[in-house]
Amino acid sequence: MSAAEATAEPQGGALNDWLRERISHALSEFTAATALVVLFIALSFASPYFLTADNLFNIGAQTAVIAIIATAQTMVIITRGIDLSVGSVAALAGVAGAMVVRDLGFPLLAATAVAIGVGALAGLLNGLLVTVARIPPFIATLGTMSVGRGLVFIMTGAVGVYGLPRSFQLLGNGEIIGIPFAVVITAVVAVGVAFLLSQTRFGQYTYAMGSNLEAARRSGIGVGRHLTYVYVLAGVLVGLGGMIAASRVNSGQPNYGISLELDVIAAAVIGGASLFGGQGRIVGTIIGAFLIALVRNGAVLLDISIHYQQVIVGLIIWAAVYFDQYRRRRLESRG
Amino acid sequence: MDAAPTTTVGTDQPAAGEPPVLEARGIVKRFGHVEALRGADFTVGKGEVVALIGDNGAGKSTLIKTLSGVHPPDEGEIRVGGRPVHFATPVDARRAGVETVYQDLAVADDLSVAANLYLGREILRSGPLGRLGLLDKRAMRQGAAAALAELGVRIPRVTTPIAMLSGGQRQCVAVARAIIWATNVVILDEPTAALGVVQTGRVLDVVRRARDAGMSVVLVSHNMPQVLEIADRVEVLRLGRRAARLRADEVTTDDLVAAMTGSTGAERDER
């Protein structure tokens, strides 16, 4: 290394570096996209129902919820955290949204605001547990997961919230010129968060904290406050996702989202987010969310039991994290 | 410690009467029952490189952390440009123009070189977009490239993530970052401890350039030949106090070791 350094950088070397940098950045995204295309083609051949308009619409709506919540998860993972509470909080938000419609006659927009508010509060709780109480994110959000699930069962008496007007289905099953409304919302969320992460100071701090918390602190970044914001924003998105999920089934389901955290963590990691913090992009997460939704959808079409789906998602998580480790080691061994 | 003379710092000092850029007087710092600093003094003049040396446990790290706001002192006074200051946090020290490069390299590996140089001091777009926190990445790239070129730091591109640089390049970026933002003093804690010969030379070149541009530098080092090569003056810490102040061109490494260990018996007086 030092011998190479002593000579002036030739143009070709710089170009090589630039290429390697680009490739290493996009490698996991490219791999995930390839897997997505291969799976899509395979499923088209494997099942006659796969390419029907109904099924594609269904995949779109299914992807939407995973993608929105995985986007939230990605932000948290970039800070070197993790949010295990997403499933419970999504259920809590969806049930709250459904209840205010049924019991208080809230219009859809106001109900959505309530769901988002519930998510934001849960996010604030997570953020304060991590920053003020200094509980590691894994444990803090594990607690929130349990508390949230308990609360939603208490609120509903473990019975789904039914008897909602048809208009409640707009978010989950509505469409704009043939495109699921949920997909449009997802696109707006994804573009917004991608912009936030890549173009703003907020994004810069998010990556910096995950990359080297001490460096961020010494640089004068208010890391506690900023980390809390990240959890709150993630909670907002989880609340929105929970509302869309409730809208899809036109009811508030207290047991919605059990083990959803696995799907969204898998989506984020497949897309290149690193559990060691500092890395992750929304483009990759969206691809990952699509992949997970396709696996779920394909398994249903091919009549593979839900139990095997669990096994498959677990295998995907192992593979993605192993790949991340491998990539990190290679990158670091250059230094 | 008592009544440390401030006017006899060195012969190449600016006009007598101009206060030192950074000065510590009678600093006491205790950790529980352990007294790490027992009335330590320290002085840095404008545009000089001062090496801070001492045996393990002499209090070097503690003194550095006091000067950079990590550990506020229990007793004693810190002055910047003759004005008493209180550093409760590292941010306070930075506001006073004192930048520190810590041993454990406070850079964010996943961020680019430019992003690291501007971390916590990002340039935002002008107008309402800036108020929303939108970064002016182009301005930061250009600023980073210009600043690094001025300091003679060679890296492939300012958009390269730090993780893809060599150890020496990383250290150069960390040192450059401190120099760019410091208005008074840069404190370097063992900046070359983990580096090879060529890379060490690179870092020391950066330090020289900064000194030539009028920056004051505090260098903590165990490497005695290096200390004599780069420093104008050497301050020796022993048992939590200043044991000697030496001019680098008048002493040998043996003298430094003797002052550190106190083996000469007689303490060298200042001057």
Among A18, A202, A211, whose Cβ lies nearest the Cβ of B111?
A: A211
Interface test with A, best of B109, B170, B195 (most A CBs within 10 A): B109
Measure B99 CA to nearest chain A CA, in Å: 10
Residue among A278, A277, A268, A283 nearest A320 (CA): A268
* Residue labelled with tokens 């919820």: A65
Verify whether the Cβ–Cβ distance A9 to B154 is below 8 Å.
yes
> Domain of A89?
58-257
Interface of B with A in 155-214 (CB under 8 A): 156-157, 159-161, 163-170, 196-199, 202
Structure token pair of residue B27: 């600093």
| Cβ-based contacts of A218 with chain B (< 8 Å) | 90, 102, 106
Q: Please, what's the b/e burial string for B203-217 (b: 16 or more CB within 10 A of its CB; e: otherwise)?
A: bbebbbbbbeeebbb
Measure B121 CA to nearest chain A CA, in Å: 8
Contact between residue A94 and residue A245 where contact means Cβ atoms under 8 Å apart: yes
Verify whether the Cβ–Cβ distance A218 to B90 is below 8 Å.
yes
Verify whether the Cβ–Cβ distance B122 to A334 is below 8 Å.
no
| Cβ-based contacts of B164 with chain A (< 8 Å) | 17, 20-21, 331, 334-335
Strands B75-80 and B83-85 turn out to be: antiparallel
Distance CA B59, CA B73 (A): 13
A193 vs B: CB within 8 A: no
Looking at the DSSP assignment, which residues form a beta bridge with residue A180? A175
Among A200, A220, A278, whose Cβ lies nearest the Cβ of B91?
A: A220
A16 vs B: CB within 8 A: no
Interface of B with A in 116-155 (CB under 8 A): 119-122, 124, 132-135, 137, 154
A22 vs B: CB within 8 A: no
Interface of A with B in 261-300 (CB under 8 A): 277-279
Question: For position A31, what pLDDT does the model report?
Answer: 85
In chain A, the number of structural domains is: 1
Alpha carbon separation from A81 to A29, A127, A209 (Å, rounded): 21, 10, 10
Question: Is a pLDDT exceeding 50 seen at residue B146?
Answer: yes
Q: Give percent of chain B above pLDDT 70.
A: 90
Verify whether the Cβ–Cβ distance B135 to A199 is below 8 Å.
yes
Among B104, B121, B163, whose Cβ lies nearest the Cβ of A332?
A: B163
Contact between residue A66 and residue A188 where contact means Cβ atoms under 8 Å apart: no
Q: Give percent of chain B above pLDDT 90.
A: 38
Verify whether the Cβ–Cβ distance A216 to B199 is below 8 Å.
no
Looking at the DSSP assignment, which residues form a beta bridge with residue B24? B42, B78
Distance CA A104, CA A90 (A): 20
Give phi and psi for B105, each to the nearest 5. 50, 80
Verify whether the Cβ–Cβ distance A215 to B170 is below 8 Å.
no
Question: For position A72, what pLDDT does the model report?
Answer: 98
A173 falls within a domain: yes
A91 falls within a domain: yes
Domain range list for chain B:
22-110+167-261, 111-160
Task: Give the per-residue SS3 of A238-253.
Answer: HHHHHHHHHHHCCCEC
A198 falls within a domain: yes
Exposure of A319 by Cβ count < 10 A (0-12 exposed, 13-18 middle, 19+ buried)? middle
* Residue labelled with tokens 């495109």: A179
Model pLDDT for residues B172-210, shown as the tens digit of each residue: 899 899 999 998 899 999 888 878 888 888 888 889 988
Interface of B with A in 3-62 (CB under 8 A): none
Measure A39 CA to nearest chain B CA, in Å: 31
Distance CA A269, CA A313 (A): 12
Question: For position B1, what pLDDT does the model report?
Answer: 40
Measure B117 CA to nearest chain A CA, in Å: 10
Residues lower than pLDDT 70 in chain A: 1-25, 331-335
Classify domain B22-110+167-261 by CATH number.
Answer: 3.40.50.300
Among A17, A204, A218, whose Cβ lies nearest the Cβ of B156?
A: A17
Question: For position B10, what pLDDT does the model report?
Answer: 41
Verify whether the Cβ–Cβ distance A18 to B169 is below 8 Å.
no
Interface test with A, best of B94, B119, B122 (most A CBs within 10 A): B119
Q: For chains A and B, what is the number of CB pairs under 8 angstroms? A: 106
Verify whether the Cβ–Cβ distance B119 to A221 is below 8 Å.
yes
| Cβ-based contacts of B165 with chain A (< 8 Å) | 335
Distance of CA B39 to the CA centre of its chain: 20
Question: For position A193, what pLDDT does the model report?
Answer: 98
Among B106, B124, B159, whose Cβ lies nearest the Cβ of A214?
A: B106
Model pLDDT for residues A99-137, shown as the tens digit of each residue: 999 999 999 999 999 999 999 999 999 999 999 999 999
Segment B216-241 shows an average pLDDT of 90
Which residues have CB under 8 Å from A316's CB, separation 6+?
A266, A270, A291, A292, A295
Task: Give the per-residue SS3 of chain B.
Answer: CCCCCCCCCCCCCCCCCCCCCEEEEEEEEEECCEEEEEEEEEEECCCCEEEEEECCCCCHHHHHHHHCCCCCCCEEEEEECCEEECCCCHHHHHHCCEEEECCCCCCCCCCEHHHHHCCCCCCECCCHHHHCCEECHHHHHHHHHHHHHHCCCCCCCCCCEHHHCCHHHHHHHHHHHHHHHCCCEEEEECCCCCCCHHHHHHHHHHHHHHHHCCCEEEEECCCHHHHHHHCCEEEEEECCEEEEEEEHHHCCHHHHHHHHHCCCCCCCCCC
A218 vs B: CB within 8 A: yes
Sheet holding B98-101, edge to edge: B98-101, B185-189, B216-220, B49-54, B233-238, B241-247
Interface test with B, best of A22, A218, A233 (most B CBs within 10 A): A218
Question: For position A25, what pLDDT does the model report?
Answer: 64
Distance CA B123, CA B242 (A): 41
Among A14, A202, A332, whose Cβ lies nearest the Cβ of B133?
A: A202
Verify whether the Cβ–Cβ distance B156 to A214 is below 8 Å.
no
Residue A161 DSSP label: B
Structure token pair of residue B258: 């003797």
What ipTM does this complex have?
0.83
Which residues have CB under 8 Å from A9's CB, separation 6+?
B154, B156
Verify whether the Cβ–Cβ distance B161 to A21 is below 8 Å.
yes
* Residue labelled with tokens 């804690």: B189
Question: For position B243, what pLDDT does the model report?
Answer: 86
| Least confident span in A70-84, B2-16, B46-60, B249-263 | B2-16
